[in-house]
Structure 1
Amino acid sequence: MLSTVSQVISVWFAQKNSVWVYPTGIIGVLLAAYLYFFLAEPPLYAEGSVHCYYFVLSCYGWYLWVQKKNDNTLMYPIQWSTPDVWKKTAVLSVVNWMGIYLLLKYMTDSDTPWMDSFVSAMAITAMWLMAARKIENWLFWMVSNVVAIPLHLYKSFYLFSLMFFLFLVMAIAGFFQWKKMISSTQLY
């Protein structure tokens, strides 16, 4: 329960472009990692591992988000990814998905390797894009959440399924909020 509440609050802070996304998120991801590794039967290895990755990237994102230029403006403002970054992101996402799938399929007792690996690969990409304040992070969160909902229902993690549904709604809202923030800072 505490993990769910902490993660929902974290996403709310992300929507607002607030650095508080990270300290609140760290609490939630550490608790969730414990659940995935030690309470799920069989464990959701990819989800547990990706939450450990979230912890590391949350520390990194927290560092980036507080950086300022000499004129006290953000060093890393919200922005769109370049076409080159998009291509690399797409390729990396597919490679991660296939790599995680193969690990789960052949090296674990996972009964959901396709879904678990897909959710994790998309979330890995989303978290990296969020740390870099790229608006496309919300698109990857949306895709990840759409698959995470039935995955968690299957595992009987009903509260987490509800959380991922809420995350889906919040990701849609976050995308439009960040899009509005970008528009309000551009000079015409």
Structure 2
Amino acid sequence: MIEFLFSQYRDHPTLDIILEIVAVIFGLWSVWCAKSDNIWVFPTGIVSTLIYVYLLWEWSLLGDMMINGYYFIMSIYGWYHWTRKKGDTAEYPISIISRQEKLISVIIFTITIIFVIIVYLFFGKFTTWSAFVDTFITGIFFVGMWLMAKRKIENWIFWIIGDVISIPLYFVKGFTFTGFQYIIFTIIAFYGYIEWKKILNNNRQEY
């Protein structure tokens, strides 16, 4: 089992291994902050995503690289969005997705899928079954990150679905540390939904 999980790292530069571990630590820290509705979700996430953009480019995983590049951009937007206040209260507290936002989510998912397909076809990446799954996951994660930046509770549902699908993919691709990260991501996302649900219900009672 140890041989299966870690043998691929024999051929990896030591720097890449260290960077992957650092990215995993900051990624887990970011999701934990998100669970607690803590704005540190964004600066910690920015560190993790920047490292992964570099690593995924090195590993020629374009779909995953685009996901993390998008995370970086949305983290900056989300950081700004979460800091906006009306007096002493957040201008955009945790809330439920609106009908318009559902439509926007569908549009984001569709455009993302089309864009990734075009990129994968251009670079000739549709050579394995995992490339097709990557395309679908990218769409899911793009919507999930947008909803998190908007502080919509439904973001956790998209994270859970995407994380569960990603777990076996990263092990198959040979990135064990990242695979374990997604296992923990799934657990935290489940509790994140419960935590945000409690906060949402408490906010409703106050009004």
The yes-or-no answer on 1:44 pairing with 2:61 is yes
Q: Could you say which residue in structure 2 is the equivalent of 1:64?
A: 81
Distance in 1 between residues matched to 2:49 and 2:112, nearest whole Å? 20
The yes-or-no answer on 1:86 pairing with 2:106 is no
Distance in 1 between residues matched to 2:46 and 2:163, nearest whole Å? 19
Distance in 1 between residues matched to 2:179 and 2:145, nearest whole Å? 19
1:135-146 equivalence runs, <5 A: 135-146=153-164
Distance in 1 between residues matched to 2:124 and 2:165, nearest whole Å? 20
1:51-92: CA deviations, max 9, x gaps?
A: 11111111111111111103x100110000013322331343
1:25-56: CA deviations, max 9, x gaps?
A: 11101111111111x2xx11011011111111
Structure 2: tracts of 5 or more residues without a match: 1-20
Structure 1: tracts of 5 or more residues without a match: none
Distance in 2 between residues matched to 1:166 and 1:132, nearest whole Å? 23
Q: Could you say which residue in structure 2 is the equivalent of 1:157?
A: 175
Q: Secondary structure at the match of 1:186?
A: helix
Q: Could you say which residue in structure 2 is the equivalent of 1:21?
A: 41
Task: Give RMSD over aligned pairs.
Answer: 1.4
Alignment coverage as a number of residue pairs: 183
Task: Tell me, yes or no, if the aligned pair for 1:101 and 1:113 is still in contact at 8 Å.
Answer: no
AA of the residue aligned to 2:177: L
Task: Tell me, yes or no, if the aligned pair for 2:56 and 2:65 is still in contact at 8 Å.
Answer: yes
- State the shift of 1:17 in Å: 0.3
Task: Tell me, yes or no, if the aligned pair for 1:44 and 1:116 is still in contact at 8 Å.
Answer: no
When normalised by structure 2's length, the TM-score is 0.83
The yes-or-no answer on 1:9 pairing with 2:25 is no
Distance in 2 between residues matched to 1:90 and 1:141, nearest whole Å? 16
Distance in 2 between residues matched to 1:114 and 1:34, nearest whole Å? 22
- Quote the sequence identity (%): 31
Task: Tell me, yes or no, if the aligned pair for 1:26 and 1:58 is still in contact at 8 Å.
Answer: yes
The yes-or-no answer on 1:35 pairing with 2:50 is no
Q: Could you say which residue in structure 2 is the equivalent of 1:177?
A: 195
Structure with higher Rg: it is 2
When normalised by structure 1's length, the TM-score is 0.91
Q: 1:103 aligns with which of 108, 119, 127?
A: 119
